[in-house]
Amino acid sequence: MSLLLYVAFASANGLTSHVYVSERAIEYLPAGELRDLLGDPALWPWVRNGTQFPDGGYAMGEAYSETSHWEPYQNLYFRWIQDQYGPDFASDEARQHIAYLFGMSSHGMGDQVFDSLYMQRAYVYDAASDWDGASMDHSTDVALAAETGGYPLMDLIIYEDPFVALMAEAGVEVDADTLESGQNLTMLAVAAVAGEGASEEHRAEHEAAFPWAYAHMFDEAVPGCPEWEARVVAQYWQVRWAQLHGEVHALEPVLYTFPQPGGYDHPTDATSVESRVTVVFARGLVADLLPPDLFEVTDADGGVVPMQAPWVFYGTSSHVVHLAPVDDWAEDTQYTVTVSAGVPFIDGTESTEEVQFVFNTGPAPEVYAGPACGCDTGGGLGGMAAAAFGSLVAVRRRR
């Protein structure tokens, strides 16, 4: 595959990375019906085809690709599945459609996490790279394929019914032949990257093109790397599964945060990409309706920290919001982030709960491990310290 064609595909994660994220996200699901469904080897072709689907039209200049990345279209498919197969979703067809839809949702959420966190860092640390003439998505895909071996060709699965009609409902005209052609191109792209990952020459070329981004794809210290994407996708899948079954807790607003609740050693330099606080919401946002005082950050004394305007990454329908201080964070200080109730979502609902989480700019405290003799202390100070830390890392919700 030519670089030009691959660049036409790439708008965020490369396709190989997307497939990897879906595969890993299944492993992060808790035991239960959803993991049993998505982890069923017989359904992997549907998960993988759904994961690849949103990028199929880019190389052909087809609008269905961009549309299928986002919740408004995915919600049309979601409701179609509910109408056709609910409430038990027990048939083989229902399970296949759910697997396909969840692959698509993995792709859309994965792109947002990768772009807003990993790619934003790459813009800084690979600033000298040729961003106009080369593709970071392609290079990072090759890095991932070099580590994992990539993915082979697989039979195509395309749903002319209901996709053509649902796209028309979303305002996009597309026919079945175009959908099939696009899906075929995604398979070729994934297979081509597997070949590049096995080539020493191609690996060296892509590593030289984006050295930082190539080297950190498996560095879990970097927010937004594929392993973090998989964790967020697994959380998002659980929300979608709950929504599919009409469960109320699906309405909880915050899906994930960076830093993680209770995190330490948060960078203090307000001009650094690393100092941002990121909130990932469970549903797409209406950016223009976000109340100006929705987010508040306070220090350990309860003082309100001046913050820049929240950055809703990608605007309406996005799930990701960046928060940045006007001035440097103070050293060795605990901060509390409050997200008020009233978060406006694209489905017309608003959140009804306030959410809080804390992070620290200081180092993590040492946890007492007990005397070196190895004797049984029965819990003691070490147990209490661990319990106290556990209470810190949970997101605190208040009605």
Q: What is the DSSP string of 46-110?
A: HHHHHHHGGGTTGGGT-THHHHHTSHHHHHHHHHHHHHHHTTT--SHHHHHHHHHHHHHHHHHHH
108 pLDDT above the threshold of 90: yes
29 pLDDT above the threshold of 90: yes
Evaluated on CA atoms 284, 289, 291, 297, the torsion sign reads: positive
103 residue type, one letter: G
Q: What's the pLDDT tens digit per position in 114-145?
A: 999 999 999 999 999 999 999 999 999 999 99
Domains of the chain: 3-233 (no CATH), 253-398 (2.60.40.1220)
Extract the tokens encoding 299. Answer: 């220090």
169 residue type, one letter: E
The phi and psi torsions of 341 (rounded to 5 degrees) equal -65, 160
Helix, strand, coil % (nearest 5) of the chain? 50, 10, 40
Query: What per-residue confidence (pLDDT) applies to 252?
Result: 80
Q: What's the pLDDT tens digit per position in 226-255?
A: 999 999 999 999 999 999 998 866 668 999
> Do residues 329 and 268 touch, judged by C-beta distance below 8 A?
yes
Query: What per-residue confidence (pLDDT) applies to 247?
Result: 87
- Paired with 323 in beta bridges are 277
Query: What per-residue confidence (pLDDT) applies to 249?
Result: 66
256 residue type, one letter: Y
Q: What's the pLDDT tens digit per position in 184-231?
A: 999 999 999 999 999 999 999 999 999 999 999 999 999 999 999 999
390 pLDDT above the threshold of 80: no
3 pLDDT above the threshold of 50: no
CA distance 179 to 172: 12
CA distance 131 to 125: 12
CA distance 151 to 145: 8
- Paired with 398 in beta bridges are 354
> Which letter does DSSP use for residue 286 in this model?
-
> Do residues 52 and 108 touch, judged by C-beta distance below 8 A?
no
> Do residues 118 and 213 touch, judged by C-beta distance below 8 A?
yes
> Do residues 235 and 279 touch, judged by C-beta distance below 8 A?
no
10 Å Cβ neighbour count for 377?
14
CA distance 250 to 282: 8
Q: Among 178, 135, 174, 131, which residue's Cα sits nearest to residue 1?
A: 135
Q: Among 88, 91, 105, which residue's Cα sits nearest to residue 51?
A: 105
368 pLDDT above the threshold of 90: no
311 CB burial (10 A radius; 0-12, 13-18, 19+): middle
| Of 63-72, 103-112, 306-315, 347-356, minimum mean pLDDT range | 347-356
CA distance 160 to 24: 28
Maximum distance among all Cα pairs of the chain, rounded to whole angstroms = 72
